[in-house]
Amino acid sequence: MAFCAALVAVVPLSCRESDHGGADRPQVGPGEAPEARLGPVPLVASARGEVRSATVTRQGRHWFVSFLVEDGKQTPERHAMPSTAVGIDRGVKVAATTSDGVFHDRVFATPGETARLRRLQQKQARQKKGSNRRKQTVAAINTITGRIRNRRTDFCAWTANRITERAALVVLEDLRTKNMTASAAGTIEAPGRNVRAKAGLNRAILDKGWHMLELALRNAARYTGSNVVLVNPAYTSQTCNVCKHVDPKNRESQAIFECTACGHTDHADVNAAKNEHQGRRAGGLRAWRPRHRPVCEAPTTGQPHRTGRSPRAARAAGISALQGGEEANV
């Protein structure tokens, strides 16, 4: 059984923005991790293993280097609770609802952050492109959106970990998020309809992190041996879980489901999750299973290998290439 690879370390680099938009570049030696201007910065996580790659990224005024190493863990042949299964319904009001009636959700932006972000965006729209004040406004916007993005990432990872630990089979709707969040503006010859409403729906879908949650579930499944199955999402929100009657009127509102045939009542999201859970028996459209091969597919030869935003970003941060097979003690 192949080992799994994991992202185990993140080091913030001290790159101070200058008034002219430049960045001070930290100097590092071969095979060394960058250090902050005020001294070494402790790693967020630590592990020992074989380095496969190093990724240099930039978020606003902060630089990060992430090491990908072999963590020595193996994908289990069988889940600890092989007879368990759960269906998950993703929504815009509640991020994820399971078929056993558990609601997973979190507010990613506080009311104060939402108000400040709106003011900054309005301020940015009035400023001249390329001006220093506009750059300062953009940096302030990136600070807020970065916090929101980090909370969403943490929520998806936390939720996926809890779900895969308790379920050997995880059933999701086969949602094409990219297509669902496409703009409805259309063209000059064929303008779209309800553009503002569709834009609001797109923002709600992206805010809940539907695709990110699916990726987090697949990643967590590598460590628990869970199966992730995608089923046809058609009519899952209109079908009664008890009598299988399909009627758009079954769903009175976003949260209330009442069957017009048998009178069964349930929370609409829970009813949809149950339909997805049972829909696997009819055959899912696509199935995903942890691969019995190295999850890290970076080259293992002795040639230098760089990954990340771009080689230019790596050079700007002063990161030297890591050699394949080099041992990390991070």
| Rounded Cα–Cα distance for residues 136 and 270 (Å) | 45
3-state secondary structure the chain: CCEEEEEEEEEEECCCECCCCCECCCCCCCCCCCCECCECCCCCCCCEEEEEEEEEEEECCEEEEEEEEEEEEECCCCCCCCCCEEEEEECCCCCEEECCCCEECCCCCCHHHHHHHHHHHHHHHHCCCCCHHHHHHHHHHHHHHHHHHHHHHHHHHHHHHHHHHHCCEEEEECCCHHHHCCCCCECCCCECCCHHHHHHHHHHHHHHCHHHHHHHHHHHHHHHCCEEEEECCCCCCCECCCCCCECHHHECCCCEEECCCCCCEEEHHHHHHHHHHHHHHHCCCEEECCCCCCCCCCCCCCCCECEECCHHHHHHHCCCCECCCCEEEC
The reply to whether 266 belongs to the active site is no
| Rounded Cα–Cα distance for residues 214 and 156 (Å) | 8
The reply to whether 89 belongs to the active site is yes
- Of 173, 214, 266, 276, the active-site residue reads 173
| Rounded Cα–Cα distance for residues 88 and 271 (Å) | 10
Q: What is the CA radius of gyration of the chain?
A: 24
Separation in Å, CA 279 to CA 165, 265, 266:
22, 19, 18
| Whole-number pLDDT of residue 59 | 78
- Of 71, 214, 266, 269, the active-site residue reads 269
Place of tokens 């963590």: 71
| Rounded Cα–Cα distance for residues 320 and 154 (Å) | 30
Place of tokens 């967020």: 44
The reply to whether 173 belongs to the active site is yes
| Blockwise average pLDDT, block size 10, the chain, 330 residues | 43 44 46 49 64 80 78 84 93 93 94 96 95 94 93 95 94 90 82 85 91 94 92 89 90 89 92 86 46 40 41 48 45
Among the listed residues 122, 247, 148, 273, the one whose alpha carbon sits nearest the alpha carbon of residue 203: 148
- Sorted by where each begins, the domain ranges of the chain are 1-73+294-330, 76-105+168-291
| Whole-number pLDDT of residue 257 | 93
Instruction: Kindly state the greatest CA–CA separation across the chain.
Output: 73
Burial class (CB in 10 A: 0-12, 13-18, 19+), 185: exposed
| Whole-number pLDDT of residue 65 | 79
Q: Return the structure tokens found at 112.
A: 């104060």
| Rounded Cα–Cα distance for residues 61 and 319 (Å) | 17
Q: Residue 209 phi/psi, 5° resolution?
A: 65, 50
- Of 50, 70, 71, 89, the active-site residue reads 89
